[in-house]
Amino acid sequence: MQGPTFMNALIELRDISKHFGEGETRVDALREVTLSVGAGEVVGLLGPSGSGKSTLLNVIGCIVEPNKGSMNLDGEVVYANQWLRRDLRRLRLEKIGFIFQFHNLLPFLDSTDNVALVLHLAGYPKADARRRAMDLIEYLQVGHRRHAMPAHLSGGEAQRVAIARALANRPRIILADEPTAALDSERAGIVMDLLRKLAAEQQAAIIAVTHDEKIIGRFDRIFRLRDGRLES
C-alpha cells in the first residue's frame, strides 16, 4: 500500500530511477520507485545495506538527480525527467529539513547560533533568526543548553539541537538518516516522540531511514527497499 493519494501527499514519487556508472560498471540504485507520504505522517525506510535507502533520501532532498521519473514536493513538480526548479539550494531552504545520525553541529557555534545559521542563510534578520532559534530550542526542551557549545552537549541534547536546526525554516518535509542509531533506547524513544509531535503539529511529512529495531513500531508506515525496488 502506498498510503495517501497523490492528491494530498507532500512527497510524491512516480517511477523514480537512478543509476551510477555505465556498461559493466553500472549500478541501478533505484528502480522505478513510486511512493507518496502525506502531511502528518512519519514513515520508516528500511532495507539492507546497498538497497538504495540513502540514494532515495538524497533524491527526495534534491541532492542527487534521478535519471528518470517525476517528483512532486509540497505541491510543486520539481523533477520530470529533468530538474524543473533551477535554484535547488533555495528549494531545500524553503521546503526540506535534514536530520542525520550524527548531529553535525558546527563546533565553534553555540546551540542557538547553530540553529540560527539556517535562518541567516534563508535571509532572516539576525534578531528574528535568534528569536526563532531560541523558541525552537525551548520547544525541544533544551532551552537550558541554548548557550552550550556542541562539545558540552550530551548525545540526546545535541540531537535535539540538530532537530531544531532542521525545523528552523518550518519545512513541510523532514528527511532523517538514522536519527536514533547513536542513542540508547530511552533517548531514541524521546526523539521519535518528538518527530511524531512535529509531524502532527506542523503537518509535516517525515521519512526516516533506519536499522534501529527499537523504533520500528513508532512509524505510521514502513517502506522496504531491496536492490533499488520497493517491496510490496
CB 136 within 8 A of CB 167: yes
pTM, full prediction = 0.84
Most confident of 45-59, 152-166, 168-182: 45-59
- The grid coordinates of residue 19 equal 543509476
Distance from C-alpha of 228 to C-alpha of 60, rounded to nearest angstrom: 15
CB 53 within 8 A of CB 227: no
Distance from C-alpha of 168 to C-alpha of 92, rounded to nearest angstrom: 12
Sign, CA torsion 181/187/189/192: negative
Least confident piece of the model among 26-40, 107-121, 154-168: 154-168
**Average pLDDT score over residue span 194-223:** 87
Q: What is the pLDDT of residue 30?
A: 95
Q: What is the pLDDT of residue 24?
A: 84
User: Across the chain, how many H-helices and E-strands are there?
Assistant: 6, 10
Q: Residue with C-alpha cell 520500528?
A: 216
pLDDT at 147 over 90: yes
Please name the amino acid found at residue 35.
L
pLDDT at 10 over 90: yes
Mean pLDDT of the chain: 87
Please name the amino acid found at residue 30.
L
> Looking at per-residue confidence, does 217 or 148 come out higher?
148
Which homologous superfamily does the CATH classification assign to the domain defined by 9-230?
P-loop containing nucleotide triphosphate hydrolases (3.40.50.300)
CB 207 within 8 A of CB 99: no
Q: What number of other Cβ atoms are within 10 A of residue 165's Cβ?
A: 26
Q: What is the pLDDT of residue 23?
A: 84
- The grid coordinates of residue 154 equal 550530551
CB 208 within 8 A of CB 57: no
Domain boundaries, the chain: 9-230
Strand partners, 225: 230
